[in-house]
Amino acid sequence: MSDEPVILINLLKVKPGKQDALIALLKQSTDTVVRTLHGWKTTRLIAAKDGAGVVIYSEWETPPQPSRRCAAIRA
């Protein structure tokens, strides 16, 4: 397996005027949950200039493993 970090990029679309609220929610989630997950290194939240989207750029030491809760929800 490579020692290179794993990069995950997500693009979330939002309704006009909701970008700041989404960023606040994502920041809270990153600060309280994501940072506790094994292999997590860093996350950057990038606001689209047009106010219609947010990019989540995350680096992981290894691919993130789904939690048992996520598996139960998918089932």
For residue 1, is it within any domain? no
What pLDDT score does 38 carry? 86
- Domain containing 48 — which CATH number? 3.30.70.100
For residue 56, is it within any domain? yes
For residue 25, is it within any domain? yes
- pTM across the whole model: 0.78
Which letter, b or e, does each residue of 20-50 get, where b requires 16 or more Cβ atoms within 10 Å of its Cβ? eebbeebeeebeeeeeeeeebeebebeeeee
What pLDDT score does 73 carry? 43
Question: Tens digits of per-residue pLDDT, 6-50?
Answer: 999 999 999 989 999 999 999 999 999 999 988 899 999 999 999
**Total domain count, the chain:** 1
DSSP 23: H
Domain that holds residue 34: 6-74
Are 54 and 12 in contact, with CB atoms under 8 Å apart?
yes
Question: Tens digits of per-residue pLDDT, 39-74?
Answer: 899 999 999 999 999 999 999 997 766 665 555 445
Return the beta strands (E) in 1-75 as ranges.
6-13, 40-47, 53-60
- Beta strand 6-13 pairing with 40-47: unpaired
